[in-house]
Structure formats: C-alpha cells, structure tokens
Amino acid sequence: MSARRLDACVVDTRNSPNVRLRPVPPAHVSLRDAFWAPRREANGRRTLRTQLSHLESTGALDNFRRLGEGLDRPFKGMYFADSDVYKWLEAVGWHLADHPDDSELRGQAHRVIELVAAAQRADGYLNTYFAKERADERWTDFDLHEMYCAGHLFQGAVAYHRTTGDERILEVATRFADHICDTFGPGPDQRVAVDGHEEVELGLVELYRTTGQRRYLDQAVFFIEARGRGLLGAPYGHREPEYSQDHAPFRDMDAVVGHAVRALYYTAGVADVCAEIDEPDYRAALERQWHNMTERRMYVSGGVGSRYEGEAFGVDYELPHARAYTETCAAIGSVMWNSRMLALDGEARFADLLEWTLFNAVLPGLSLDGEHYFYQNPLADDGQHRRQAWFGVACCPPNIARTLAALPGYLYGVADGEVWVHLYAASGLRTTLPDGTEVELEQATRYPWDETVTFTLRRSATFALMLRVPQWCTEATLRVNGEVQDVTITSGSYLRVAREWSDGDEVRLELPMPVRYLTAHRRVSEAVGRAAIARGPILYCVEAADHADVDPRDLVLPSDPAAFVAGSSDLPGELPALRAPATVLHADRGPLYRSADEEPNVARSPATLTAIPYFAWANRAPGPMQVWVQRDVPVGRGRSVAGGDA
C-alpha cells in the first residue's frame, strides 16, 4: 500500500523563484469548522462515491476497459469523458491527504488507475476516444480536447502521487507528457499546434514541479506562445478565434474573452509559468485581464460567463440575470487563477475574490445533500432551473469535488518569518516556515456567520501573523491577549502582527458584518433600480419558498439595510436567514406600454422579506428566485392594499 505523504501541496510553488508566498500542505491543516468541514465530509462520504457510480453507469470507465481488456464495446459519452475520470482521481487524492484510512476510496482509486494504465498505448499516447476505430485520427482535430484531457491526467496523477506516493499513475502521466513534448514544438520533426481548450499548460507546469523535468515547463511556454496566432482557424468550423483565445498572443491581450472556462484555465496556466519564469509581459497581461474581468465582466456572485452561446464572456457590462451562464467550472477557474495571483503578489484583492467566489459562485453548483449539481448558475429564475444528479457534459461535478477536497491547502500561506491567513475557518495549523521556524496555532471562529476570529498560539516562536482584512470590512478591531491594539487597519489588505510569541498567546480579530446593499454600474441595465443583499462574505437571494403567495420579483427592499436581522430558516443544515419589513408591489394590470407621463396604478402592501444565502437556493420546493431586488418604490397614483390612496 502506498504511503501517506504529509508534505503534498496543491500547487507546489515551494521552490518557485517568483512567488511572494509559499503553499501550506493540506495535511498540515486540520479543518474542523461548522461550515466547510461538514461539506468536505459529505464530499468524501457521498459525493465521490456517487460520482464513481455515475462514471461507471455512463460508460466513462468502460471506455478505458475496452482498450485495456479488449472489450468489443463502442465509446460512450462526450469525446472528453476521460477528463472527468482524471478529476475524480485528483479529488480522491486530496481527500486521502486528510483521510488516509479511507481504504474503500483508496481501493477504488487503485482500480481506476489500473484501468487507465492498461489503456495507454505503447508510445505513451492516452485518449480513449481516439482509440481503436479512431486511432488514425490522433492529433487531427484540436477542437476535440486531446491535450485538455492530458492536462487533467497530469493534475490528477500529480495529486494522487503527492498524497499517496503512488508511482504508477505518475509514470502514466510522464509517458504521455513525453509523447506530447516529442510531438509538438519548434524542432524540425515536431508540429506547431495548440488545443482548443486550455488545461495542458497547468498540468505540464505541475509535472515539472513534481519531476524536475524542465522540458515540461518549456512545453507549457511553447503552447502559450503558439496560441493567439490563428492555428485553430474557426473553432468547430463556425466560431471566432476569440472563442479559444486564439485571436492574439497572450502578452497582447487586454480582456477576458471567449469560452469562460478556457479563458480562466489559460490565465491560471500563465500565472503558473510566471511563478517559474520572469515574464513581465505575461504579468502585465494578467493584470489587465484581471481588472477587465472584475470591473466589467463579472457577476456580483463572482461568477463569470454571461452567454449561453459559446459558454462565453460577453462584452463589457453584458450581465443578464436569468440568462447568466456562469458555469460552475468557470467559477472554479477563477479560484484557481486568483490563488496563483495571490501566491505571486500576496495582495489581498486576490484572496478577497477567491473567498467571495468560493462562497457565492462555486458552492451554488452543489446541492446541500452533496449529490446534485448546477452547470449554470443564474441570478434570477422562474423556478424551472434545478440541480441534476449528473450531466451529459459532466465536467462540473468532479471539478467541485476536487476543489472541496483540496480546500485546506487554500487557507494559509507562508513566507520567511510570516504566516498568512487567507481564509477564516476553525482549524489548526502545524507547519514549518521556509526559514525553519516551527509554527503551531489554532483558529477558532464561526465565520462566515460570526465576526470574531481568534488565534491561539500553541508553540513559542518569533514570526508575523498576516491577517486578511476583507474589502467589505470597514471597522475591524485587533486585540492581542485581550488588549486592543492601536494600529492602522486598512480594508482590503493584510494586517501584520509580529512579535515573539509564547505558548497560549491569543490574537483576536473582529470583522463587523452589517448587512449591506450592493449596486451595479449603470450600464448593467437589468440591475438599474435594484440592489443585492450581502453580509460579510455571503451574497443573499430571495426565494419563493419563504414568501407564501408573493412572487420575489414583486418585493421591494427596505430603504435601510440595517432593518435586516439574522434568524433561523428551514433550509437543511439550519443555515441562517435575514429578515426585514418590506413592500410588495402588486401586478399593474395596465397596458404593456404607456406614455412616459402616465403614472402606473400599482397597489402596495407590507410584507416580510426573507433572504437566504444564494449558495443555498433551489434546495427546497421550486419557485422564482431573485438576487437583484427592487429598491425604489414607484410613486404616483398607487393605492395601498390596506385601503386609501397611496
């Protein structure tokens, strides 16, 4: 049986020359909070096991068997079905990092690895779609995800090798990587080509970090430099080059464009390269694209991708609510990109967006029972959009699973003499800093519902504790051993608390969480006259299940967000809700269009507005949902339902 590896890092930049922060292995973090820990337990106990059943029933595993066992069966599923198996394997690897005794999942993973290894061709090539009847079509159509699948194999193999020490899956991955490096490149006997869907770049860099083989890093750079020169022509025969980010070299790009998942896997891969190679033009392009996304092309949830057509980014401010595509995989791509930018620069804006996206754009993709999924995540719905047990295109479910399994690796970062706290959750940390300082501390909190975070030092040592003060928090307070500290605390930055610590020292950070309204740029037309409700790092929505005989689309917010009070809900897991007195605008039965100087006759009545965390919607009876709620009550010849003129 493979040995457990305690030093396994999700993105291993410990030896990368261009990073500000080093990673903390998930095994060095004991996550035991009331928010994330139960979800991760469900991920291991239910999600990964039901996903394996779906991979079996849909034929994804049989696709490997028909090669390794010579079965006379046709290929089943999408041409990139292999990637779902690899993401599942990656998720199991990170699950085993803190559940090493889960012998059932370990055994299942080993059987999957046997299937994968047996399907590999003698020259290292591995793709079950381009096998048997399609063997002569290898590397002929780069819209069909051969390198994309390879990238997920590389990431899955690295994760499983790092956490368990398993050499066989790593050998499979390096053989395929060697085949790709031999086939594509600038040499006289090589080809110049790029895959339609970025991902291989991420996998190649991580293979380089694991094996030390420089050719894998060079190959990732080769693919980045080759893209943007029109090699893909018209993707799928009818799309524009922007769809696959093949319209311009990366160093010249100013905006996130095209298929959202591809775009963000691309930026994440380039950020990985920047950690290893000094590329100022890449860094500048990453900054430009980040600002374009966050300032003009991102939903209030952190979700991205506004168009069903092409699963793509739209133009600036094109952010429809009910037709928001906001694929769960795109949100995960944003988390991946921001985590890498955070490592490069140590800037709180990346951690802020990483956290906001996890809570409000990734988590909605998974039901509270851990077994149903959203592919798209709209910000308004009439009650028809519901989570599914699986999809024909099943990229999102195993993507969520691997993200949850690896989550402890996102909480902390380290540098010489510094411990950086990126995410707040009750947890223990026991690790060694790059300069050799041994650190042991405990974090106690009920975050994201409670504003207090307390750190207790469990080992005497000298270092700085770097505490993130989120952008939304304007009045944070710091106490050390009970005494308020007279320090300048700036929102959207890290607060440095440095001293010679003793066992038992206590640091308390208070992050007040008043309910606040978020408004949108005036060019986001559907949000005009509306606001979204937020408290701390959580975005809220209004759902019909809490409003008998009232359509959430007819509710009007109270003028002051301070009117909201926290209370209980009937959501699974006893998630809290916010309530406030509000107004209902009853249907105007006048004409569809009227003269601008003719005021509508709208009846109004009082109501109680209940807001629930957006990530928890669609877990009860179907019905309309709104994130953006009306803010301004129309004036004019309206009347009160209670009687009399309004």
Query: Is 112's pLDDT higher than 90?
Result: yes
Percent of the chain with pLDDT over 90: 92
| Cα–Cα distance list, 126 to 132, 166, 223, 324, 443 (Å) | 12, 19, 19, 36, 44
| Cα–Cα distance list, 409 to 19, 222, 286, 323 (Å) | 16, 29, 23, 34
- The class (CATH top level) of 22-413 is mainly alpha
| Contact criterion met (CB below 8 Å) for 441 and 419 | yes
Query: Is 639's pLDDT higher than 60?
Result: no
Name the residue among 173, 134, 166 with its Cα closest to residue 152.
173
Close Cβ partners of 405 (under 8 Å, ≥ 6 residues apart)? 40, 43, 44, 48, 90, 91, 92, 93, 94, 95, 97
- For 312, phi then psi, to 5°, come to -115, 160
Burial of 53 (0-12, 13-18, 19+ CB in 10 A): exposed
| Confidence band for 633, pLDDT divided at 50, 70 and 90 | low
| Cα–Cα distance list, 369 to 42, 274, 355, 572 (Å) | 8, 39, 22, 8
- 139-143, 350-354, 428-432, 602-606: least confident range: 602-606
| Contact criterion met (CB below 8 Å) for 406 and 16 | no
CA 542/CA 296 separation, integer angstroms: 25
| Confidence band for 80, pLDDT divided at 50, 70 and 90 | very high
Q: In the Cβ-directed half-sphere of 208, how many Cα atoms lie within 13 Å?
A: 24
Q: 626: which strand partners? A: 380, 542
pLDDT reported for residue 3: 53
Burial of 50 (0-12, 13-18, 19+ CB in 10 A): middle
* Residues noted as catalytic: 311, 395
CA 282/CA 274 separation, integer angstroms: 7
CA 248/CA 231 separation, integer angstroms: 11
The secondary element (H helix, E strand) that includes residue 98 is helix 81-98
| Contact criterion met (CB below 8 Å) for 136 and 128 | no
CA 555/CA 570 separation, integer angstroms: 20
Name the residue among 150, 147, 58, 44 with its Cα closest to residue 99.
44
459-517 per-position pLDDT tens digit: 999 999 999 999 999 999 999 999 999 999 999 999 999 999 999 999 999 999 999 99
* Token pair of 75 as six digits: 């290929």
| Contact criterion met (CB below 8 Å) for 3 and 165 | yes
| Contact criterion met (CB below 8 Å) for 106 and 35 | no
Query: Is 191's pLDDT higher than 60?
Result: yes
Name the residue among 215, 194, 198 with its Cα closest to residue 264.
198
Which segments of the chain belong to CATH 2.60.40?
Answer: 416-510
pLDDT, mean over the chain = 95
Q: Which residue has the higher pLDDT, 645 or 541?
A: 541
315-365 per-position pLDDT tens digit: 999 999 999 999 999 999 999 999 999 999 999 999 999 999 999 999 999
Which segments of the chain belong to CATH 1.50.10.10?
Answer: 22-413
CA 534/CA 144 separation, integer angstroms: 41
Q: Is 449 helix (H, G, I), strand (E, B) or coil?
A: coil
396-413 per-position pLDDT tens digit: 999 999 999 999 999 999
* Token pair of 415 as six digits: 């540098």
Q: Which residue has the higher pLDDT, 2 or 192?
A: 192
**pTM (2 decimals)?**
0.96
Close Cβ partners of 281 (under 8 Å, ≥ 6 residues apart)? 251
CA 330/CA 253 separation, integer angstroms: 19
Q: Is 464 helix (H, G, I), strand (E, B) or coil?
A: strand
| Confidence band for 591, pLDDT divided at 50, 70 and 90 | confident
Close Cβ partners of 642 (under 8 Å, ≥ 6 residues apart)? 605, 606
* Token pair of 171 as six digits: 């050998």
The CATH T-level fold of domain 416-510 is: Immunoglobulin-like (2.60.40)
* Token pair of 300 as six digits: 């209030």
Nearest-5° Cα angle at 402, 453 to 127 = 165
Q: Is 264 helix (H, G, I), strand (E, B) or coil?
A: helix
CA 603/CA 638 separation, integer angstroms: 5
Query: Is 637's pLDDT higher than 80?
Result: no
- 243-247, 314-318, 545-549: least confident range: 545-549
Q: 533: which strand partners? A: 517
